[in-house]
Amino acid sequence: MACCVAVLIKENLIYLRRSAEELKFLFLIHASIDILDDKVNQLTKPTSDRDARDFYLGLLYPVEEYKIYGYVSSTRVKFILIFEHSTSISLKDPDIKLLFQRLHQAYIDCISNPFYEPNTQLKSKRFEQVVTSLMVQNDPLTSAIASSQASSVPSTSVIVPTAI
């Protein structure tokens, strides 16, 4: 369903997978940093009435063929998912939030590896598996399994580090 998954630290891409070798995805991801930065700035404002642990930033900006969603961790690691316009109509915000939380958890598992050097490319089989599951699952059976898995995730994903 997702056709592109990206993880960024600041503006540096540390993970990218796309369904097709299209340049367009890169431009879209790069452009969405503008919006992500802006939204993160609004998050940190004391006046914002958002839940501090709500890292889901929603739809980033309108593009004709795609929908771009953003999510940011408390250490400001940015996650981006891109869906094709046609497949994403059935998707609701809570569904996408769950996908992000799974991705976030996989990221945490991945960087917990003591051999992972910070701020470098993510190279982990487990992480790849999660990304693959985000990108292919489409039939109701697997997505039902996935969502049952996903529902168990939030309880653990709350324990994300809060230091910046």
Residues of this chain that interact with another protein (CB under 8 A) are 11-13, 16, 23, 26-28, 30-35, 38, 60-64, 119
Closest contact distance (angstroms) between CB of 146 and another protein is 29
Question: Which residue lies nearer to another protein by CB, 30 or 53?
Answer: 30
126: buried, middle or exposed (CB in 10 Å: 19+, 13-18, 0-12)?
A: exposed
- Taking the C-alpha atoms of residue 104 and residue 161, their distance in angstroms, rounded to an integer, is 12
Closest contact distance (angstroms) between CB of 89 and another protein is 10
Q: Which tokens hold the place of 68?
A: 């771009």
Angle between helix axes 93-111 and 140-157 (nearest 10 degrees) is 60
Question: Which residue lies nearer to another protein by CB, 35 or 122?
Answer: 35
Q: Which tokens hold the place of 18?
A: 């796309």
Longest dimension (CA), the chain: 43
Angle between helix axes 93-111 and 125-136 (nearest 10 degrees) is 170
Q: Which tokens hold the place of 36?
A: 């992500």
Closest contact distance (angstroms) between CB of 156 and another protein is 29
Closest contact distance (angstroms) between CB of 27 and another protein is 4
Question: Which residue lies nearer to another protein by CB, 22 or 54?
Answer: 22
Closest contact distance (angstroms) between CB of 18 and another protein is 10
- Taking the C-alpha atoms of residue 40 and residue 73, their distance in angstroms, rounded to an integer, is 10
Question: Which residue lies nearer to another protein by CB, 63 or 160?
Answer: 63
Radius of gyration of the chain from its Cα atoms, rounded to whole angstroms = 15
Question: Which residue lies nearer to another protein by CB, 118 or 140?
Answer: 118
